[in-house]
């Protein structure tokens, strides 16, 4: 293998593709093994499994809880002794096989007399501290647990994963981390690690997906005022877009099921299906069958909410590629509701956790 400096541009591109392929391949390998192991545990609690025994299934979960709580206690004890304080819980969150440690007290102590705004120095320090100090504490803790339980071999291993400067927890197993280093891979700029956060869904308008990620990045790295400015600017851009760009993508089913000869659609019809039935009605009404096809079951469509009052006296309208100009409905698209549901709502549960708002508010305290 040549050194990177000796490679041509074409060779570098090929090498990059190979690395990306290998990363994906080994990620799938470890994911497959994880699923297999979880399946083995699950099978023990299944009455149709040959080796079914509820005690074995309980032993797996209870052992996992014991191990992670045992290690957390030893880490808390070590950090409390290091900082010369009474026993304090620096492990602030425990997952199935992970502990999340706040090391801000260590950083404050080290840089007390020489404050630094260079986060790379702090990340370097934490990386070295975890490798040379915390790793030894965890290894010794596992060895001590092995002796306590009289196990034949010590098979527990834990390694440092992410170094982050900010994190937001909205619930158990639902969080966002602003990661500077992940398993030894240092980032030029922080990357978001999200678990259980479904802010961006396939049902979100495409124009909002990247903007939601940008907004979360601002939340993690900047101020509330910057977020307000970003939302305001995007709202102005959003209002200038075509209806099809701000509409929600959906798969359409149940047109015949929900169609009613008297009322057009039945009570309880989903919003996007209701919009499709209205769309087909308008195509027939304006005699546009040769210009715009009917929406059929299985079609990929988009739907938007309508402002009131409007000529149709309806709440929604669906479309395939765009809204036919013959409908004369563009000016009735409810851009405010579309913006709220497609962009603001996915952010609100994150902002609620840190008590931020989507726009600047004035209170008596401001006076």
Mean pLDDT, the chain cut into blocks of 10 residues (367 residues total): 74 88 92 88 90 91 93 97 96 92 93 80 95 96 95 92 94 92 93 85 90 94 95 97 95 94 93 96 94 94 96 95 93 97 93 92 63
The predicted pLDDT at position 34 comes to 86
Residue 329 near residue 310 (C-beta atoms within 8 A): yes
Hey, what domains does the chain have and what are their CATH numbers?
Answer: 55-160 (3.90.1600.10), 203-367 (3.40.1820.10)
The predicted pLDDT at position 366 comes to 59
103 contacts: CB under 8 Å, gap ≥ 6? 79, 90, 126, 129
pTM score, whole prediction: 0.78
The predicted pLDDT at position 114 comes to 73
The predicted pLDDT at position 335 comes to 97
The predicted pLDDT at position 365 comes to 62
The predicted pLDDT at position 235 comes to 97
Strands annotated E in 64-135: 91-94, 99-101
Q: What is the CA radius of gyration of the chain?
A: 28
The predicted pLDDT at position 363 comes to 61
297 contacts: CB under 8 Å, gap ≥ 6? 252, 253, 254, 255, 256
What proportions of the chain, in percent to the nearest 5, are helix, strand and coil? 50, 15, 35
The predicted pLDDT at position 367 comes to 55
The predicted pLDDT at position 337 comes to 97
């Amino acid at each position: 293998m040549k050194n990177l400096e000796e490679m041509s541009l074409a060779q570098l591109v090929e090498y990059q593709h190979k690395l990306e392929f290998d990363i994906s391949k080994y990620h799938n390998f470890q994911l497959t093994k994880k699923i297999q192991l979880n399946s083995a545990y699950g099978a023990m609690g299944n009455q149709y499994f040959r080796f079914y025994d509820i005690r074995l299934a309980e032993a797996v979960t209870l052992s996992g809880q014991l191990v992670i709580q045992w290690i957390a206690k030893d880490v808390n004890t070590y950090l409390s002794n290091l900082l010369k304080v009474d026993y304090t819980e620096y492990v602030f969150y425990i997952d199935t096989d992970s502990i999340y440690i706040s090391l801000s007290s260590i950083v404050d102590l080290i840089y007390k007399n020489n404050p630094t705004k260079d986060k790379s120095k702090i990340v370097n320090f934490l990386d070295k501290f975890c490798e040379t100090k915390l790793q030894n504490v965890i290894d010794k803790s596992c060895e001590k647990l092995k002796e306590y339980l009289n196990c034949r071999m010590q098979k527990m291993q834990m390694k440092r994963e992410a170094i982050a400067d900010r994190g937001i927890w909205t619930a158990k197993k639902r969080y966002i981390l602003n990661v500077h280093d992940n398993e030894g891979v240092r980032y030029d700029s922080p990357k978001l690690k999200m678990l259980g956060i479904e802010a961006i869904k396939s049902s979100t308008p495409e124009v909002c997906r990247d903007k939601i990620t940008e907004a979360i990045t601002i939340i993690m790295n900047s101020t509330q005022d910057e977020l307000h400015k970003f939302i305001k600017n995007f709202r102005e851009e959003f209002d200038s877009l075509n209806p099809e760009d701000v509409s929600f993508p959906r798969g359409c089913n149940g047109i015949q099921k929900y169609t009613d000869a008297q009322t057009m659609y039945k009570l309880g019809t989903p919003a996007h299906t209701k919009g499709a039935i209205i769309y087909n009605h308008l195509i027939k009404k304006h005699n546009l069958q040769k210009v715009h096809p009917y929406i059929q079951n299985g079609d990929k469509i988009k739907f938007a909410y309508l402002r009131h009052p409007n000529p149709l006296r309806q709440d929604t309208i669906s479309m395939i590629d765009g809204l036919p100009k013959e409908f004369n409905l563009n000016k009735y698209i409810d851009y405010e509701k579309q913006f709220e549901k497609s962009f603001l709502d996915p952010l609100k549960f994150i902002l609620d956790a840190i008590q931020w708002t989507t726009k600047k508010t004035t209170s008596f305290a401001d006076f």
